[in-house]
Amino acid sequence: MLRINEFKIENLSSDCFTDNPAPVFSFSMISSEKNVLLKKAILSVNNWMEVFERQTGLVYEGPELTPFTKYLAILEITDDHGETAKASLEFETGFMESKWKAAWITDGSYQFKERKKSPRPMTFKKDFSIKGEIEQARIYSTALGIYELELNGRKVGDEYFAPGYTSYKNQLQYQMYDITEYLQKQNLLMVIVGGGWAVGSYTYKRMNRIYAKRQAFLGEIHIRYKDGSHEIIGTDETWKVTEEGNFLEAEFYDGEVYDATVKLENSSFHNAGIEKMKIEPQLLVQYGSPVKAHEQFEPVSCELSPSGMLIYDFGQNMAGVIEADIQGRAGEKIVFYHAEVLLNGELYTKPLRSAKQQAVYICKEGSQQYSPRMTYMGFRYVGVSGISADKIKLKATALYSDISKNGSFSCSEPMLNKLQDCIEWSAKSNFVDIPTDCPQRDERLGWTGDIALFASTAAYNFDMSRFFDKWLKDMRAEQNPGGGIPMIIPMVKIPGQLEMLFPLAVDHWGDACILVPWAEYMARGDIELLRKMYPSMKKYIKACKFWAGLFSAQKKKRIWSLLFHYGDWCAPDMTYKEWMKRGKWTGTACLAHSSAILSEIAGILGEKEDEEVYRKLSLETAQAYRNILMNENCHIKGGDFQTGFVLPLHYNMLFEKDKKRAAANLVKLIRDNNYNIKTGFPGTPYVLFALADNGYLEDAYKMLLTDTCPSWLYEVKAGATTMWERWDALREDGSCNLGEDNGSGGMVSFNHYANGAVGDFFYRRILGIEAVEGGYRRFRIAPLPGGGLDFAKGDVNTPYGYIRCSWIIEDGGFKLTAEIPAGTQCEIVLPSGRSFTEGSGSYCYEEKIG
């Protein structure tokens, strides 16, 4: 029996709204038969029909889609066993390229001039009446700032921080809300607009009004009546506005001040003004993954600190907000303080730098509930002042983009399972509309280097498709004409930092334009993403090649040392200047690696001439690294360091004889260092691969399982529930490493996913699941057991369905079970080297060990 498991448009199976004139479909199928492949798929939409022989990348090429129209897509498939199945889905278009009838509105009298502060939130309101029986009613809305809607006292929608953070000068998302069930004969719509990313205080320089001088709102209410008539109520000067609402302050860093005693009906409203926009972004219906509320936590303890503050421990570091049930008195002021760690029984807030991370609530009389809506915090611990413990009940809610779980991993070593949890929670905490570096201090920026190195691990654990697609759209828009990629996306020009004012080609950071879409392509098989990113990739590599060749002699023209590099960023026991001095090694290796990937992408896209050009560039750069940056015995000139060996080994830059030498040099370094990690951001994701793939599997496991500082399991042993920015963020003596001794003072986060890129090794080598072709149409299961582990299990959800795998060692034997989805082919390789090629179905293999 054959059935369609998931049928998607634009990577959504329901509630899909699009402004894409050529939306993309995909599907997975399930069959009770073995070795099932797709024979044909017939897709019908809008009087258009096309026959496909693939399951992903089904691009609509029919008649032009019209705005505000609902369409039915019908899919009929036939497999190679003659079985058939059918499914359908609905999707709806937004404005497409039609013009809005509404105007941008603001409070024209509000002249916000304070520096390094966020503006007071604006509250807009509109009274309107209904003229007949409603068939359908919707609000289309967006803002410069972040906004929330309330209609007749009810919150509209379930997302936070709409419209999200984008490259505002280029594109801005708008949301669509179905309000049919909300409407009454007389209606009151309230809109709260905070400064958010666009107007509020942002970046570690605490800049404000980066994208606009004040908040602005744009909205249209579309009402379709049962008699066939249609009404649009758009924002204009008849809407009212005030700054005398409940929200007295709202900012991502400092937090929120909310006064529940304010009665909006008594506030002084006046007519809104039409805002003259300095930017004209393209307005597109929500195409990213909106931020929503997810897991909720009860406190595991509540203690009175030495200072007299109530301190709640929620047992999990996260990005989110508190939810409080309060028995309060009118005017009573409660302050909620947030921190990641405790020191001497008190909240340790020094790592927050200038960020307050506070929520202040001024009570009304009686029983009431409060949860921040215009901010979020990074925290495990919450301190409360202004109320006694018997008058308040507290919970914590995790906020992150609406990315679904995509994979799982567990094994017989509990500490590795805890490490896997840390990896997942650091990702959740930093996938708050953009891939941030950390969720707590005065930063929370879209650093490209962190996600470039973590993208593959992220794509194993979560469905990153819409999240990455949105962020990469901003990257394309922000790329320098010369090819440089900003180090933070969306780009913010930070005064005093040349590399932030003029986007440069920076190894591993800029390579996000290649590494992120490549990771997503391998996970999802989205060739359209490669096609969209290809011009950016080419421009970037051209810039890298230029800087490597500038002022260089012929032999050194592929050694990339100019201009700026982060080098071996965050390697332990070094100063930040020493990290950066390793830039010519990290830069040259990265140029070789990214050129090789780009050569492969060119081949996939049918760009044969480019394929050869980039293959040659990769080879020349790899040879330059070997001949100029290493000596005849493959030692690093200037002194051996772990990352210096890890990158050429994992990037496949060396011939076989040199691989053996480099691997031997690497393993000696690691053994001499008692298996402690010494890599920075670029080397950490790959160090275990460099060992395991070059004859040192048990050394890889020893390094992974080491629990002294610095190591992954040291963090777990120290009680971490998320990954740390520094390997010794919390030292063995209990003190916090703020970077005072290496020149990077104040730079420490206990929720920073970059070093969690080790999660890739869990899936690819311990579990053994690895894509051979984009989207796992062909893949491999080749587990490498070791380190005393006696079982591992997990799964990965692919565009074709779930791959499931488990292995166990018992009674001197190795047993592997695998489930292969329909439409795919898998090479299964046992530890002995025996291999089998299988189609879809469930399989079990056993062999003796030794």
pLDDT in tens, 400-442: 999 999 999 999 999 999 999 999 999 999 999 999 999 999 9
Taking alpha carbons only, the member of 497, 573, 596, 523 closest to residue 204 is 497
Return the residue matching tokens 């909300």: 182
How does the average pLDDT of the chain come out, rounded? 96
Q: How many helices (H) and strands (E) does the chain have?
A: 16, 45
Residue 731, both tokens: 């030292």
CA nearest to 254, candidates 361, 347, 356: 356
Q: Could you give the residue ranges of the DSSP H alpha helices within 729-786?
A: 759-761
The encoded tokens of residue 639 equal 């002194």
Q: Which residue has the higher pLDDT, 517 or 494?
A: 517
Contact 697, 786 (CB under 8 A): yes
Contact 160, 192 (CB under 8 A): no
* Element containing residue 495 per DSSP (H, E): none
pLDDT in tens, 205-244: 999 999 999 999 999 999 999 999 999 999 999 999 999 9
Least confident of 28-42, 469-483, 488-502, 679-693: 488-502
Q: Residue 422: what pLDDT?
A: 98
- Give CA–CA dist 592/589, Å, rounded: 5
DSSP E strand stretches across 402-479: 407-411, 431-432, 434-435
Band of residue 495 on the pLDDT scale cut at 50, 70, 90: confident
Instruction: Give the residue numbers annotated as catalytic, written as ranges.
Output: 443, 725
Query: What pLDDT does residue 503 have?
Result: 80
What pLDDT, on the 0 to 100 scale, is given for residue 496?
A: 76
- pLDDT tens string 505-521: 999 999 999 999 999 99
CA distance 500 to 486: 7
**pLDDT digit string, tens, across residues 260-319:** 999 999 999 999 999 999 899 999 999 999 999 999 999 999 999 999 999 999 999 999
740/742 Cα distance (integer angstroms): 6
Question: Which residues fall within 8 angstroms of residue 777, CB to CB, at 6 or more apart?
Answer: 55, 525, 800, 823, 824, 825
pLDDT-derived band of residue 113, with 50, 70 and 90 as boundaries? Answer: confident
Over pLDDT 70: what percentage of the chain?
Answer: 100
Average pLDDT over residues 593-607: 98
Query: CA-CA distances (angstroms) from residue 754 to 174, 456, 473, 726?
Result: 31, 11, 22, 10
Is the CA virtual torsion 360, 362, 366, 370 positive or negative?
negative
pTM for this entry: 0.96
Report the C-alpha gap between 484 and 536 in whole angstroms. Answer: 9
Contact 800, 79 (CB under 8 A): no
Instruction: Inform me whether the pLDDT recorded for 43 exceeds 80.
Output: yes
Distance CA 110, CA 216 (A): 11
pLDDT at 112 (0 to 100): 84
267-276, 340-349, 549-558, 798-807: range with lowest mean pLDDT: 549-558
Decide: helix, strand or coil at residue 179: coil
CA distance 526 to 633: 42
Res. 638: pLDDT tops 80: yes
Q: Which token pair is 97?
A: 């390229």
Q: What percent of the chain has pLDDT over 90?
A: 92
CB-based contact 517:235 (threshold 8 Å): no
pLDDT digits (tens, 9 = 90+) for 736-795: 888 877 777 788 999 999 999 999 999 999 999 999 999 999 999 999 999 999 999 999
Tens-digit pLDDT profile for residues 731-752: 988 888 888 777 777 889 999 9
Q: How confident is the model at residue 594 (pLDDT cuts 50, 70, 90)?
A: very high
- Three-state SS at 465: helix
- Whether the per-residue pLDDT at 499 is higher than 80: the answer is no
Rounded Cα distance between 726 and 730, Å, is 8
Alpha carbons 94 and 787: distance in angstroms, whole number: 54
Q: Which domains does the chain have, with CATH numbers?
A: 2-93 (2.60.40.10), 105-245+271-287 (2.60.120.260), 292-401 (2.60.120.260), 446-767 (1.50.10.10), 771-848 (2.60.420.10)
d(CA 568, CA 587) in angstroms, rounded, equals 10
Distance between CA atoms of 344 and 305, rounded to whole angstroms?
Answer: 9
Distance (Å, whole) CA 523 – CA 632: 39
Q: Measuring CA to CA, how many Å separate 47 from each of 15, 21, 71, 794?
A: 22, 15, 10, 43
* AA identity, residue 579: W
Give pLDDT, residue 501: 72
